Amino acid sequence: MADDDPDDCLLAREALLESQLTDELYFVSDGEELMDYLYHRGKHRQASMSPRPSLILLDLNMPKKDGREALREIRADPNLRVIPVVVLTTSKAEEDIYHSYNLGANSFIVKPVTYS
């Protein structure tokens, strides 16, 4: 999951635990770190500590490299483009929805403003 909001990451972890998914969940805080994780660069250099994800949950609005840039880069790489990407963001803007799908997102989910 690529998201710069620790609260959103915690809620996603809790939701996935409740759904009893058995996959390990890894978090990165921006698009640049996501690409480092996927390409095993920097602190993610050790491939055994950065396994290939079966799904990417991607926030659009992050520092350094935003989700749009990361999605474009993922879809441009033949080895990464097969990984499903779900955009999970607070944006409801039609432009963001259309642009995400045009960049190759598999799904677009708007985060709830409040959680109950």
**Nearest Cα to Cα of residue 59 among 14, 16, 111, 99:** 111
Does the pLDDT of residue 116 top 70, yes or no?
no
C-alpha radius of gyration, the chain, whole number: 14
Cβ(85)–Cβ(58) under 8 Å? yes
Q: What is the pLDDT of residue 9?
A: 77
Q: What is the pLDDT of residue 46?
A: 84
Pairwise pLDDT comparison (68 vs 14), residue with the higher score: 68
Domain ranges of the chain: 6-110
CA 8/CA 59 separation, integer angstroms? 10
Domain boundaries 6-110, corresponding CATH code: 3.40.50.2300
